[in-house]
Amino acid sequence: MTINLQFSTFLCLSAAVLCVITGGLALVRDVRSTAYRAFALGMGVFAAQAVLSRLVLNAMRPSEAVAWSRWCVAAGALVPGSWLLFSLSYARSNFDEFGRKWKWVIVAAFVMPVGLAVLGWTHLLAPYASLEQNGNWVTPLGWAGYGLYVALLVFSAMVLANLEKTLRTSHGAIRWQIKFSILGVGAIFAALIYTAAQVLLFSSLRTDLYIFNCIILLGANILLMVSAVRNRLREAKLYVSQNVLQGSLTTIVIGVYLLGVGLFAKLAVHLRIGPILFQNGLIAIAAVSGVVLLLLSETVRYRIRRFIHVHFQRPYYDYRKIWTEFTRKTSSEVDLERLCAAIVNTVSETFIASIVTIWLPEEGFEMPAMAASTGSVSGEIEELAAHLLGYVRDLHGPVQVGRDGACEVPGISVQDLEQAKIRYCVPLGTGSGFIGMMTMNERTGPPFSVEDFDLLQTFADQAAGLILNHKLFENLGQARELEAFQAVSAFLAHDLKNIASTLALTLNNLPLHYENPEFRADTFQIMSKSVEKIRNMCSRLSPLDRRLELQKGECDLNELVSTTVASLNLGRPILADLVPLPTALLDSEQIRKVLLNLILNACESSSNGAEIRVATSFENGFLRFSVTDHGCGMSREFIKKSLFHPLKTTKPGGSGIGVYQSKMIVEAHGGRIEVHSREGIGTTFTVFLPPGGSH
């Protein structure tokens, strides 16, 4: 008995220490994160229960065992709320949606058990306990304790179902990051469901269940520490569907278990095999955890698939299942990012590759945009992808890059490819041209076979078609938006001209009432500003309701920039960095409007006194001029969706026309306009113009 007591004390204290360590690691990772704060609270509760369990096991009198057991049960009242909150927020980028939907369930998970523990304190357990021959204290439940364990059982099932949904939604590298954490927490709650079912079934609390929970806590904390070490305290984020419990395997397994546990427990009582049942519980949970861990391993999944293919002579890929699943995931997606996410997730699952990424070039950007990825992508990888995109553009199918006889990519070293975890590249193209590319890291198993490359090419063709259709649909919407805007601008220009004429007539009649000082002062000031403002709006709106007509002539771009800058008195330095340029056929007045728009925008987005830089150059057969500021900058989202669209602006009182009009003028000359901006750092607009004025 002394050895058993010492061993149980070691188990309880070890479990408590590990719970404190893992809870502390969570707070170190991100103390502001809802998930990690809930995790730390839950681990703190488990640590307290482990210490109280040790006191119960060391109790020498029944009253002492009952007192410490009551405190241990009461501490468990904080378990449902803290861990339900963790399961809803861990690794989920859309936790706010879940928080609103599950708000009252979370409140109930905190209030109901705590209320039972506080209000029914004396009724958590019976006031007496009995000591069995094997040294176990057995304490009957009271009505409050019974209700508390029912709540623990129900909310534990919800926690497991939420964790299962998070794991099922993850793919590739994200699953690799979170699987040990979810498996560790899942093992704890599988044990809690087991112990809660035992307590409710026999209406009594046994001290051997404390030892059982401490053993599970030890194993689970080891898994959690492995997760913390391998992730280097990084956090994964994924989007999880709101249908958390729909199709949950967890709810089915728990239901079957609760139906069968009564039969096994009654059998254990009659055959006196309680200790064997306890040992089998440990073995079962350990076995299930091991199986889940193996099935989540990409290496094991690959070997299972390979074994079936070799020994049972089935096709390596179930094409009907693959395309059914691919169609189901992509057919209903109307958002481009979520469509690309569905594509990379399917490719990742099919080829058992942890990192699959889709890159799409964007007009006006030097770097391609990462449309979706199953892993994390840094800025350095974006620069490498920009070089790789030019290489892939000329390919007609997937290629293997890097070492071992793979294709060499000009300008990119093998080490850079390996660091970026890019092993396979496939162009995304349709009959209308190049759409983008898809990259993949080294998959588990041998290099790609001909069959693999064929399937990957088919995926790429389907993906390119879906992405192109989405972009065409987006362009159609923009065309309709522009058509509506042009009609509105025509009517608006007409009405504003009439108003301007009326105000001008009133201004002409002002001399008749000139002797009235009050009328003269107020009316003259208001009408002058109104006429000037309305005529200015009309001059900016009128060109938008018809095709822009250019009046081209020989133009010295440097002289145009110099005279425009010299004519401005903006109360800040404007640095002109000009290099010799050839003359060009341009509409100087229209280009002056572009330059003026860009300079004024730069001034409005910068603080007073901040320098504006205007530069010219001649590169790759194009005249270039750029306007750079060090102002507030713009987000990539705004640039992509709003910057070059009419009536959309970030400036208070702005019309959203200036940049849109500038783009029209530049494109009418056969050129293009690009923007590079970072929030809080500044913005550079660059205009490219052909010397001949058009292509």
The pLDDT of 379-403, averaged and rounded, is 78
With b for 16 or more beta-carbon neighbours within 10 A and e for fewer, the 349-363 pattern comes to bbbebbbbbbbbbee
CA dihedral (178, 380, 408, 343) positive or negative:
positive
Phi, psi of 231 (to 5 degrees): -90, -10
CA dihedral (554, 557, 562, 564) positive or negative:
positive
352-356, 485-489, 595-599: which range is least confident on average?
Answer: 485-489
Is the domain defined by 341-462 classed in CATH 3.30.460.10?
Answer: no
Q: What are the beta bridge partners of residue 601?
A: none
Phi, psi of 365 (to 5 degrees): -120, 140
Which amino acid makes up residue 550? L
Radius of gyration, CA atoms only, the chain: 35
Per DSSP, the three-state class of 423 is coil
Q: What is the pLDDT of residue 44?
A: 92
Of 164, 307, 366, the C-alpha closest to 249 is: 164
Position of tokens 């660091």?
419
Q: How confident is the model at residue 65 (pLDDT cuts 50, 70, 90)?
A: confident
DSSP state of 297: -
* Pair of tokens at residue 684: 């550079």
Position of tokens 């509760």?
45
Position of tokens 């410490």?
68
| Segment 518-537, tens digit of pLDDT | 656 655 665 666 666 566 55
State the pTM of this model.
0.50
Q: Burial of 530 by CB count in 10 Å (0-12 exposed, 13-18 middle, 19+ buried)?
A: middle
How far apart are the C-alpha atoms of 52 and 391, rounded to whole Å? 65
Q: Burial of 57 by CB count in 10 Å (0-12 exposed, 13-18 middle, 19+ buried)?
A: buried
| Residues of the chain above pLDDT 70, percent | 69
Q: What is the pLDDT of residue 210?
A: 84
Is the model's pLDDT at 149 over the cut of 80?
A: yes
| Segment 310-331, tens digit of pLDDT | 554 455 667 778 888 888 888 7
Q: What is the pLDDT of residue 74?
A: 92
Name the architecture of domain 553-689: 2-Layer Sandwich (3.30)
* Pair of tokens at residue 5: 């007591």
Would you give the end-to-end CA distance of the chain in angstroms?
A: 94
457 or 30, which is more confident: 457
175-189, 336-350, 372-386: which range is least confident on average?
Answer: 372-386
Chain mean pLDDT for the chain: 75
| Segment 574-604, tens digit of pLDDT | 888 888 888 888 888 888 888 888 888 888 8
Of 11, 448, 2, 421, the C-alpha closest to 208 is: 11
